[in-house]
Amino acid sequence: MSKKGTVLVSGGAGFIGTHTTVALVEAGYDVVMIDNFSNSGPSAVEGVEKILGRKVTFEEVDTCDEKALRGVFERHQFDTVIHFAAYKAVGESVADPLKYYRNNLVSYMNILKLMKEFKRPNVLFSSSATVYGDAETLPVTEQTPRQEATSPYGNTKQIAEDILRDCCKAYPGFYGIALRYFNPIGAHPSALIGELPRGVPNNLVPFITQTAAGIRECLSIFGNDYNTPDGTCLRDYIDIVDLAKAHVAAVDRMVSGKMETKYEIFNVGTGKPVSVLELVTRFEKANGVKVPHKIVGRRAGDVPAVWADTTLANEKLGWKAERDLDDTLRAAWAWEQNLHKK
Q: Interface residues with ligand UFG (CB under 6 A)?
A: 88, 90, 128-130, 154, 183, 202-204, 207, 219-222, 233, 235, 276, 299, 302
Question: Does the annotation mark 153 as catalytic?
Answer: yes
Exactly one of 29, 87, 132, 153 is catalytic; which is it?
Answer: 153
Q: Measured from the CB atom, is 130 or 270 closer to ligand UFG?
A: 130
Q: Measured from the CB atom, is 103 or 122 closer to ligand UFG?
A: 103
| Cα separation values, 335 from 38, 187, 193, 280, Å | 21, 6, 7, 17
Q: Measured from the CB atom, is 187 or 276 closer to ligand UFG?
A: 276
Exposure on the CB side of residue 47, measured as CA atoms within 13 A: 28
Q: Measured from the CB atom, is 122 or 130 closer to ligand UFG?
A: 130
Per DSSP, the residues of 233-249 read: -EE-EEEHHHHHHHHHH
Task: Please state the closest distance from residue 330 (CB atom) to ligand UFG, in A.
Answer: 18
Per DSSP, the residues of 73-90 read: HHH---SEEEE------H
Q: Measured from the CB atom, is 12 or 223 closer to ligand UFG?
A: 223
CA atoms of 128 and 255, how far apart (whole Å):
23
CB 122 within 8 A of CB 92: no
- Of 324, 318, 331, residue with least CA distance to 252: 318
Task: Please state the closest distance from residue 198 (CB atom) to ligand UFG, in A.
Answer: 15
Task: Please state the closest distance from residue 276 (CB atom) to ligand UFG, in A.
Answer: 5
Select the residue whose beta carbon is closest to ligand UFG and give its number: 233
| Cα separation values, 277 from 43, 213, 303, 329, Å | 33, 19, 16, 14
CB 207 within 8 A of CB 219: yes
CA 120 to centroid of chain Cα atoms: 23
Task: Please state the closest distance from residue 219 (CB atom) to ligand UFG, in A.
Answer: 6
CA atoms of 114 and 118, how far apart (whole Å):
6
CA atoms of 21 and 180, how far apart (whole Å):
18
Task: Please state the closest distance from residue 287 (CB atom) to ligand UFG, in A.
Answer: 18
Q: Catalytic residues, which ones?
A: 153
